[in-house]
Amino acid sequence: MNMYLNTCKPLENFKSLYKSKYFVDKSLIIENLNERIGTSDKFLCITRPRRFGKSSVADMISSYYSKALDSKEVFDSLKISKANNYDEHLNKYNVINISFNEISEIGNKYEDYIKMIRETLKKDIVEKYPHINPSEYFNISSMLQDTGDKFIFVFDEWDYIFNNNLFIENQNDFLEFLRNLLKDQPYVLLCYMTGVLPIKKYSSGSALNMFDEFTFLKDRILGEYFGFTEAEVKKLCAENGEIDFNELESWYNGYLTAKGVKVYNPRSVVKALLNNHCESYWTNTGAMDEVAQYLKYNTLEIRDDVIQMVSGAEVDITIDEEFRAGQGNPRTKEEIYSAMIVLGFLSYYDGYLKIPNQELMKEFQKALRDESFGYVSEIIENSRKMLKATVNYDTKTVESILHDIHNSEIPILKYSDENSLSCVLTLAYLAARDTYRVEREEKSGKGYSDFSFHPRRKNDIPFIVELKKDGTPEAAIKQIREKEYVQKFRKEYKYKKVLAVGICYNSDTKEHNCIIEEI
């Protein structure tokens, strides 16, 4: 159990981060915390998705406050050193630092887990306060009270057993343990707690109702300290000098704080900068099969929304309640989306839901291949034929595949509007995303092309698709030529051969027509 009273381990961790090539200074969060010490606002719970810097900030906070450390040399070079209350609180407090993310090796029951926490904490207290005899106390709070000191608590991954569905029958007992340790205890100067899931609220009498919660959806105060802001990412790209910000943006941008500030997943950005290459980094660190798992909770109700979002569109929906620790499996559409927002799988801002970026888009595309999506998975299986037919000028096969998709039993694919036609094209060409970077409404030449397919491999053929409902494919090809959509390919990729694909749907005859020409 990572549990320590006045230990040097957080400083060792923070120094490693501080010395890293792409360190971003988030120390000004401490200025806010300093104002809360010893006040009625001393309980904070910060919840964010995995890999958004929660543990790093927790190590920084412990390093700053712990009286057992001398961290002045590090913090004097950080932004917090310019704050008025900087010296007043630097290395002045007893800090109890607990990470709840380990399971006892002695047994796999809740009793073993909580015993490990209690016994380790008791051992630390006795070591620091030899006059305390643990056999004379019924609980840890009494021991801490009799030390005569006051403490700052830094709890990381507080929700570990909830997030991993452990000890379900005893989760309320764990909340009671935290309540007894913290609530109305005069030795608590500050409690800073982090996790993925917000606290479960039962009623006004909730075990942890003294906490102010700062969640992905509602944090308007501390949002910029978790994740890299766009300005910070641009600065890192400039320091790197090799990786293009626009590419990094397309891969990892897409999250917004409650105040509308763009934030990026730090781990993905740093890995991309270190490797000078963008790919899925964050999604490889967790159980990303969770995307498919959450979609399966109510596949039929959310299928059309997912198709829209994979097509690059936003879904207009109101999400009032956040998915919280101990809530169980989500069932309704709103609960499923709420859980996926909390986990970082979806982005939500100002009433609109979307897949945040290319990194997550790949996971949703993978999820749609699952047989639980019925005919959608069949369409995706056929999408390899669609790509092959396109680059081989096989217009009849292209028309046939589109016709089959239109005749499916999926309402959103019935072409009620232009967006529905775009959804069809997205599914029809989904397999192309394995070897192409696919852009919707990309600026090129004198306008915006509907779909641009940029090859990742040098021998593949680039192509542009223009859609027309109740128009002609000839008109679509003419638009590609006149608005010079191929200009971006010519300029940036030096391609000599580009295909123009004009596709139209006639709502009277219910027929599709396609023309493919080389430009």
Q: Measured between alpha carbons, how far is 517 from 519 in angstroms, rounded to an integer?
A: 6
Q: What is the pLDDT of residue 203?
A: 43
Over residues 386-399, the mean pLDDT reads 97
pLDDT at residue 202 greater than cutoff 70: no
**What pLDDT is stored for residue 6 in this prediction?**
64
Q: Where are the alpha helices (DSSP H) in 450-496?
A: 473-482, 487-488
| Integer Cα distance of 461 and 457 in angstroms | 9
Range from 111-115, 257-261, 270-274, 290-294 carrying the lowest mean pLDDT: 290-294
CB 138: neighbour CB atoms within 10 A? Answer: 7
Q: Which position has the higher pLDDT, 285 or 333?
A: 333
Residue 2 pLDDT > 50, yes or no? no
Domains in the chain: boundaries: 2-223, 227-284, 290-368, 374-518
In this predicted structure, the answer to whether residue 1 has a pLDDT above a threshold of 50 is: no
Q: Is the pLDDT score of 334 beyond 80?
A: yes
Mean pLDDT of 332-349: 94
| Higher per-residue pLDDT: 189 or 331 | 189
How would residue 437 be classed by pLDDT, with cut points 50, 70 and 90? Answer: confident
State the pLDDT at residue 420: 84
Band of the pLDDT at 166, cuts 50, 70, 90? very high
Report the b/e string of 215-245 with b at 16+ CB within 10 A.
bbbebeebbbbbbbbeebbeebbeebeebeb
- Mean pLDDT of the 42-55 span: 95
Lowest-confidence range among 92-106, 190-204, 383-397? 190-204
pLDDT band, residue 495 (cuts 50/70/90): low
| pLDDT tens per residue, range 130-151 | 999 999 999 999 999 999 999 9
Instruction: Please write the tens of the pLDDT for every residue from 408-421.
Output: 888 888 877 777 88
Arithmetic mean of pLDDT, 268-289: 81
Kindly tell me if the per-residue pLDDT of 272 is higher than 90.
yes
∠437-441-444 over CA atoms, to 5°? 85
pLDDT of residue 201: 61
- Higher-scoring residue by pLDDT: 4, 33: 33
- Reference 226, options 190, 256, 254; nearest CA is 256
**Mean pLDDT (whole number) for 3-17:** 83
pLDDT of 494: 74
Q: Please say whether the beta carbons of 256 and 279 come within 8 A.
A: no
Check whether 79 has a pLDDT greater than 50.
yes
- Percent of the chain at pLDDT above 90? 74
More confident residue, 490 or 356: 356
Does the structure show a pLDDT above 70 at 287? no
Q: Select the more confidently predicted residue: 495 or 446.
A: 446
What DSSP string runs through 211-239?
Answer: PEEE-TTT-SSSGGGSSEEHHHHHHHHHH
Query: Could you check whether 2-223 and 374-518 share the same CATH topology?
Result: no
CATH architecture of 2-223: 3-Layer(aba) Sandwich (3.40)
Q: What is the mean pLDDT of residues 176-191?
A: 97
pLDDT band at 73 (very low <50, low <70, confident <90, very high): very high
- Terminal-residue alpha carbon distance, the chain: 64
Q: pLDDT per residue over 214-238, tens digit each?
A: 998 899 999 999 999 999 999 999 9
280: pLDDT strictly greater than 90: no
Average pLDDT over all residues of the chain:
91
DSSP H/E element including 467: strand 463-469
Query: Do residues 310 and 364 touch, judged by C-beta distance below 8 A?
Result: yes
**SS3 annotation, 58-127:** HHHHHHHHECCCCCHHHHCCCHHHHCCCHHHHCCCEEEEEEECCCCCCCCCCHHHHHHHHHHHHHHHHHH
Q: Which helix (H) or strand (E) holds 440?
A: strand 436-444
pLDDT above 80 (res 452): yes
Q: Does residue 269 have a pLDDT over 50?
A: yes
Per-range mean pLDDT, top range of 69-78, 196-205, 241-250: 69-78
488 versus 242: which is more confidently predicted?
242
What's residue 204's pLDDT? 46
| Burial (Cβ within 10 Å: 0-12, 13-18, ≥19) of residue 163 | middle
Fold that domain 374-518 belongs to in CATH: Trna Endonuclease; Chain: A, domain 1 (3.40.1350)
